[in-house]
């Protein structure tokens, strides 16, 4: 099941909403020139599906990809994966994580298998810090040109639990903005905010203990300090792409089977 099968056509955030958007999302982006013409989906639905049409100001093909706006933030997609050894690793598509939750949807109440824990092992330094409005989509006819965020990546380890005692560890998975396709699905800021507020099931909770599992922490997304919030906010397009590539609907329907061991505070390996 492709993520596009459970999303509706994408619309970009209005400029006023962009400044307040703490968490945005990945997937199919709208052309930068058109990105501010519709508001963020306040119901927190998933956006996506369409291919950005060409825009003379922003979407001309370049060596590092195509500029699109995702929730009002300019990024490069359809690009070349960084050659830096730091960002070499597996793609999600090459691992069992690819559309895992599409293959294994919740079949009955209380069915929490499979479960996935994700530990962030590395991230681009530019993903942590205050929002940089230089990368915000400019109004039509603005004298200020659109500028895309730099190439940014996440590296992570995932633990997939198929039962209380059966698990599979997947190391060295890398996702960069240039790996995102302009045809991919997109999550709205509202959808990502929903996930940020989702709590783990009480019946299988580890409470405040954050580990690879199999028990789920009370809060699926850690927000221990400001850098955690900044990483999730600035890297909204990467987290959204991660969710859609896994076929994970938690930001939409409250699925509680995926959690993060950490975010900006790198865990000991």
pLDDT of 72: 95
**Per-residue exposure over 229-241, b if at least 16 CB sit within 10 Å of its own CB, e if not:** bbbbbbbbbbbbb
Preceding peptide of 114 cis, ω within 30°: yes
| Chain segment 240-251, per-residue pLDDT in tens | 999 999 999 999
| Chain segment 32-59, per-residue pLDDT in tens | 544 433 333 333 344 443 333 334 334 3
| Chain segment 109-118, per-residue pLDDT in tens | 899 999 999 9
By C-alpha distance, which of 222, 230, 159 is closest to 196? 222
Cβ contact 214:125 at 8 Å: no
Helix (H) or strand (E) holding 189: helix 189-196
Instruction: Please provide the average confidence, as pLDDT, over all residues in the chain.
Output: 82
Contacts of 84 (CB under 8 A, 6+ apart): none
Taking 50 as the threshold, does the pLDDT of residue 16 lie above it? no
Give the pLDDT band (50/70/90) at residue 31: low
Give the pLDDT band (50/70/90) at residue 9: very low
pLDDT of 224: 81
Averaged pLDDT, 15-21? 36
| Chain segment 169-222, per-residue pLDDT in tens | 999 999 999 999 999 999 999 999 999 999 999 999 999 999 999 999 999 999
pTM for this prediction: 0.80
| Chain segment 93-103, per-residue pLDDT in tens | 999 999 999 99
């Amino acid at each position: 099941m492709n993520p596009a099968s459970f999303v509706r056509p994408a619309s970009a955030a209005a400029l006023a909403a962009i400044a307040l958007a703490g968490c945005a999302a990945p997937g199919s982006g709208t052309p930068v020139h058109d990105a501010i013409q519709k508001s963020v989906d306040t119901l927190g639905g998933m956006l996506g599906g369409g291919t950005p049409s060409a825009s003379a100001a922003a979407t001309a093909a370049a060596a590092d990809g195509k500029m699109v706006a995702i929730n009002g933030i300019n990024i490069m997609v359809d690009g070349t994966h960084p050659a830096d050894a730091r960002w070499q690793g597996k793609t999600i598509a090459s691992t069992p994580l690819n559309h895992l939750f599409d293959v294994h949807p919740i079949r009955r109440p209380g069915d929490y298998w499979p479960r996935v824990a994700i530990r962030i092992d590395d991230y681009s330094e530019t993903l942590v810090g205050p929002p940089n409005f230089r990368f915000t989509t400019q109004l039509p006819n603005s004298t200020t040109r659109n500028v895309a965020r730099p190439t940014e990546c996440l590296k992570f380890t995932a633990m997939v639990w198929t039962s209380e005692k059966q698990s599979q560890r997947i190391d060295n998975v890398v996702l960069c903005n240039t790996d995102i396709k302009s045809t991919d699905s997109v999550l709205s800021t509202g959808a990502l905010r929903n996930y940020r507020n989702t709590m783990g099931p009480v019946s299988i909770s580890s409470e405040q203990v954050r580990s690879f599992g199999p028990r789920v922490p009370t809060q699926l997304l850690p927000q221990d300090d400001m850098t955690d919030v900044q990483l999730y906010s600035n890297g909204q397009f990467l987290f959204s792409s991660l969710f859609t590539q896994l076929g994970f609907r938690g930001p939409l329907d409250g699925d509680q089977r995926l959690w993060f061991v950490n975010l900006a505070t790198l865990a000991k390996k």
